[in-house]
Amino acid sequence: MKKYTDINDITNISQTINEAIQIKKTPFKYKGLGANKTLVMLFFNASLRTRLSTEKAAKNLGMDVMCLQINNSWNLEFEDGTIMNLTTSEHIKEAAKVIAQYADIIAVRAFPTLKNKDQDYAETIITSFTKYSEIPVVNLESATAHPLQALADAITINEFAKDKKPKVVLSWAPHPKALPQSVANSFVNMMQQLPVDFSITHPEGYELHSDITKNTAVNYNQEEALKDADFVYVKNWSAYGDYGKILTQDDNWMITQQKLNNAKFMHCLPVRRNVVVEDAVLDSENSIVIDQANNRTYAAQVVLKNILENL
Amino acid sequence: MKKYTDINDITNISQTINEAIQIKKTPFKYKGLGANKTLVMLFFNASLRTRLSTEKAAKNLGMDVMCLQINNSWNLEFEDGTIMNLTTSEHIKEAAKVIAQYADIIAVRAFPTLKNKDQDYAETIITSFTKYSEIPVVNLESATAHPLQALADAITINEFAKDKKPKVVLSWAPHPKALPQSVANSFVNMMQQLPVDFSITHPEGYELHSDITKNTAVNYNQEEALKDADFVYVKNWSAYGDYGKILTQDDNWMITQQKLNNAKFMHCLPVRRNVVVEDAVLDSENSIVIDQANNRTYAAQVVLKNILENL
Amino acid sequence: MKKYTDINDITNISQTINEAIQIKKTPFKYKGLGANKTLVMLFFNASLRTRLSTEKAAKNLGMDVMCLQINNSWNLEFEDGTIMNLTTSEHIKEAAKVIAQYADIIAVRAFPTLKNKDQDYAETIITSFTKYSEIPVVNLESATAHPLQALADAITINEFAKDKKPKVVLSWAPHPKALPQSVANSFVNMMQQLPVDFSITHPEGYELHSDITKNTAVNYNQEEALKDADFVYVKNWSAYGDYGKILTQDDNWMITQQKLNNAKFMHCLPVRRNVVVEDAVLDSENSIVIDQANNRTYAAQVVLKNILENL
């Protein structure tokens, strides 16, 4: 693996999932692999799970880790030819090349604006770091994708799936804030590559980018969609068409124990209880959200391991 | 030791103090003990001494350390059954369980509101992390207690005590801001368990919670109280009765060289010079505040060592 | 080396440069030297290059590193005798001594006010840390100096210099914000000690402190000054005389490919493109700014190595 900015960077998904499950059994087996190698993690946005799981994964491999919370203190310029006499103080060309002097792998988190669709879907930040740093870049959730989450989700489904081909449904749920499409996008991409029966349900108007959904079935009737599901992956996202907008907060879309029936409940977290999903679900044995969170470590570790082996 | 959220988690205080003093002599002796173990430190409030000393202690034991400054960016929900459609974005149930996936020990700093006495004294945050994480929790100063500080203080008194049973006095001192009772509470708890002659002096109205002070003598006359003291531990706190209020800033309560006589001066730091205590005291040989700060490392290290041995 | 707060702490510059170049070839050769030694890095201001390069250097030497972003949350008192009942909550005397309990080396970044010349040029913060901590202090850019940058610059010039004694010119360039004189000061100090033909060019009014410039030639005509230069070091600074002021933003002082001719272009970064220097320069092979950034690691590493050897 030369980078991990979207799930297409994985050449053989089932092999990668199996390798992650092996790593989970003996997480310190490859501790020599990362010796004298440095992971620099850049956060343009806050992070809990992604920060901790990726740092832990890197240290399990023996890497040194340096974390930088960038936030608003560092205004990068991404346009070519700009006369930088206003708010931006450093060009991505210098920034990326400089960080590459101190890192063997760069990991970047940079959320979308949710205001400028073209800019967000161009993935300017993560793409620019890849282009100019000339070293492997790992996506810690970008404007439109969260591939480490999707890999952790795939590992978790693999662990919990019974013999038969499971039915997996991605269901939109209400939320008081406008959220990115990143998690949903990467989950759809991942499910399309796994041996699962996959469909999506959401209110009209919440269609994801057609380049993402492709031929995946979409059902506007949540009750019908969830019928006989083995895994229900729940996530809010703001509209892609009417970009970044909240079109409804209809609480009929909240996931309940009754709707779920015996399906496993999945969510990337953090989750707002009794808005996205009722307490009874999260407190039941059908919730596997903590398993997903745990697998974030091994998703990151298999990615870092494969990148380290290719340095 | 299974956790360290208050000083009652120590089963044998004098043995623990002696072990800390041994560790101080050979701090790197147990560097293998923490191999492949991770301490996650969560700070809801700023930290200097506690952060550095605890991280150093963990690294002396060979642990990996991940620090997260949480501050205002992460609004946790602690109530059961809440419809989380307002400001809180994650429930402590998920937060604690998730962090436990990445940590072998969780350390948490979370100051009191000083507005809601019942909420503060319920110790909701530290208690919830203990309950839901199901892994050992270390208190880096909570709403009502600072047990690592109290252990460092006990180590320091042990080091400086002459043969006889020392007289130790906790004296309130003025301060321009309303401060927690945490340090005072834990110091009182600790002194009650040591072979010392212990009393408290403060202006009327500054009585600590009676569950803390129990039978400890309180003297409203500072001059009388300090007479023949061997150790004077100075600390401001806001009122417990008229909760969180500043009742007086009377500078007659400031500690001076004359009041101190030959007693050792102790303070947890940071300290406001010439408000809490005059320069002459801090700049004299009777001040042992830097020794206290140094012992923070060995207090944390003996705690982490004992927890690691019980994992 | 007992500390590194300004470049005069280097006793033999050419030997130190050569040692840095050796370290660059085998950066992990001295990994045992820093075992069980701790570097505490304190940042009163934001940092990217200095933070990453110094942390990496310390880890290359096997040190533990603890980083504290102090910013506005920690108001230190530096005056003697103050009654601290206002905004300052801890005196540097305690702060420095306490941190020294947890560190073998302290590194500090603290920018100037650019409002109070006497205070800035007294270097109160870095000097106080040196005085009170009683352990080695490393300057990560102070009010008036950036000696790690200057050492990286010297290493870079050494690497790129041909046989002859090179002509090096420090040129002021325009910038929309008032910037410190630190980088320029330390670069001048460094060039005065190297076997180079060194001069400075800037608009009238931008004279640096005469204690810095000494006998170094200053030319107000940029075109004349740059003639036949081998290295052009470009940097904006605010006025020293009319302290902290922007006297001009004249874009005729911007560095262009034409002005540069075949000289190497140097800058400490971050740099505002098409304000300080045009794109064509930064994107050409004559720009060695990334090499400078890379050498920040080895400048820090040779400094830390020499300090560790003297502990």
Mark B111-142 as b/e (b = at least 16 C-beta within 10 Å): bbebeebeebbebbbbbbbbebbebbbbbbbb
Nearest to B78 by CA among B135, B126, B138: B126
For every residue of chain A, DSSP letters joined together read ---BSSGGG-S-HHHHHHHHHHHHHSTTTTTTTTTT-EEEEEESS--SHHHHHHHHHHHHTT-EEEEEE-GGG--EE-STT----SS--EEHHHHHHHHHHH-SEEEEE----SS-HHHHHTTHHHHHHHHHH-S-EEESS-SS--HHHHHHHHHHHHHH--SS--EEEEEE---SS---SHHHHHHHHHHTTSSSEEEEE--TT-PPPHHHHTT-EEES-HHHHHTT-SEEEEE----TTTTT------GGGSB-HHHHTTPEEE--S---BTTTB-HHHHTSTTB-HHHHHHHHHHHHHHHHHHHHHT-
Chain A residue closest in CA terms to C249: A85
Q: Using the beta-carbon criterion (under 8 Å), do B85 and A290 form an inter-chain contact?
A: no
Annotated binding residue at C270?
A: no
pLDDT of res. A264? 98
**Which structural domains are found in chain A, ordered by start?**
7-145+296-309 (3.40.50.1370), 147-292 (3.40.50.1370)
CA distance A210 to chain B (A): 30
3-state secondary structure of C11: coil
pLDDT tens column, A131-155 = 999 999 999 999 999 999 999 999 9
The H or E element containing residue B151 is: helix B147-160
Average model confidence (pLDDT) across chain C? 97
Chain C residue closest in CA terms to B282: C94
Q: Using the beta-carbon criterion (under 8 Å), do A282 and B64 form an inter-chain contact?
A: no
Output phi, psi for C71, to 5 deg: 50, -135
The average pLDDT across A190-200 equals 97
pLDDT tens column, C277-289 = 999 999 999 999 9
The average pLDDT across A26-32 equals 98
In whole angstroms, give the CA distance from residue A95 to residue A93: 6
Residue C163 has pLDDT above 90, yes or no: no
Binding-site residues of B sit at: 47-50, 74, 109, 141, 146-149, 175, 235, 268-269, 272, 296
CA distance C35 to chain B (A): 10
3-state secondary structure of C201: strand
Measured between beta carbons, the chain A residues lying within 8 angstroms of C59 are 38, 64
Residue C59 has pLDDT above 90, yes or no: yes
Q: How far is CA C301 from the centre of its chain?
A: 15
Q: Using the beta-carbon criterion (under 8 Å), do A94 and C270 form an inter-chain contact?
A: yes
Q: Tell whether the torsion through CA atoms of B269, B272, B276 and B282 is positive or negative.
A: positive
Q: Using the beta-carbon criterion (under 8 Å), do C74 and B49 form an inter-chain contact?
A: no
pLDDT of res. B72? 60
DSSP summary character for residue B277:
B
Q: Which chains pack against C, by 3+ Cβ pairs within 8 A? A: A, B
pLDDT tens column, B243-278 = 999 999 999 999 999 999 999 999 999 999 999 999
The average pLDDT across C77-99 equals 95
CA atoms within 13 A on the CB side of B130: 16
Q: Using the beta-carbon criterion (under 8 Å), do A275 and B40 form an inter-chain contact?
A: no
Chain B residue closest in CA terms to A58: B64
Reported ipTM: 0.96
Annotated binding residue at C50?
A: yes
pLDDT of res. A65? 98
Nearest to B50 by CA among B147, B125, B194, B120: B147
Residue A297 has pLDDT above 90, yes or no: yes
DSSP summary character for residue B231:
E
CA distance C244 to chain A (A): 19
Task: Report which listed range, A66-70, B160-164, C169-173, is most confident.
Answer: C169-173
Amino acid at A53: S
Average model confidence (pLDDT) across chain A? 97
CA distance A83 to chain C (A): 5
pLDDT of res. C234? 98
Chain A residue closest in CA terms to B40: A52
Amino acid at B48: L
pLDDT tens column, A73-126 = 688 999 999 999 999 999 999 999 999 999 999 999 999 999 999 999 999 999
Measured between beta carbons, the chain A residues lying within 8 angstroms of B134 are none
* Crossing angle of the two packed helices B289-309 and B13-25, in degrees rounded to 10: 100
Measured between beta carbons, the chain A residues lying within 8 angstroms of C275 are 83-85
In whole angstroms, give the CA distance from residue C295 to residue A65: 20
* Other CB atoms within 10 A of residue C12 CB: 9
Annotated binding residue at C203?
A: no
User: Over pLDDT 90: what percentage of chain A?
Assistant: 96
pLDDT of res. A162? 81
Nearest to B303 by CA among B127, B135, B148: B148
pLDDT of res. A72? 59
Chain B interface disruption, residue of C67, C86, C94, C99, most B CBs within 10 A: C94
Measured between beta carbons, the chain A residues lying within 8 angstroms of B73 are 46
Pairs of CB atoms within 8 A across B/C: 74
Measured between beta carbons, the chain B residues lying within 8 angstroms of C85 are 176, 272, 275
C66, C82, C85 ranked by CB distance to B52: nearest: C66
Q: Using the beta-carbon criterion (under 8 Å), do B82 and A270 form an inter-chain contact?
A: no
Measured between beta carbons, the chain C residues lying within 8 angstroms of A68 are 48, 51-52
Amino acid at C266: M
A27, A59, A296 ranked by CB distance to B64: nearest: A59
Region at B22 (left for phi over 0; alpha for psi -120 to 50; beta for the rest): alpha
Measured between beta carbons, the chain B residues lying within 8 angstroms of C86 are 176
B46, B53, B283 ranked by CB distance to C102: nearest: B53
pLDDT tens column, A87-100 = 999 999 999 999 99
Measured between beta carbons, the chain B residues lying within 8 angstroms of C101 are 53, 290, 293-294, 296-297
Residue A43 has pLDDT above 70, yes or no: yes
pLDDT of res. B162? 81
Residue B137 has pLDDT above 80, yes or no: yes
The average pLDDT across C147-153 equals 98
Residue B11 has pLDDT above 90, yes or no: yes
* Crossing angle of the two packed helices A147-160 and A13-25, in degrees rounded to 10: 80
pLDDT of res. C73? 66
Q: How confident is the model at residue B73 (pLDDT cuts 50, 70, 90)?
A: low
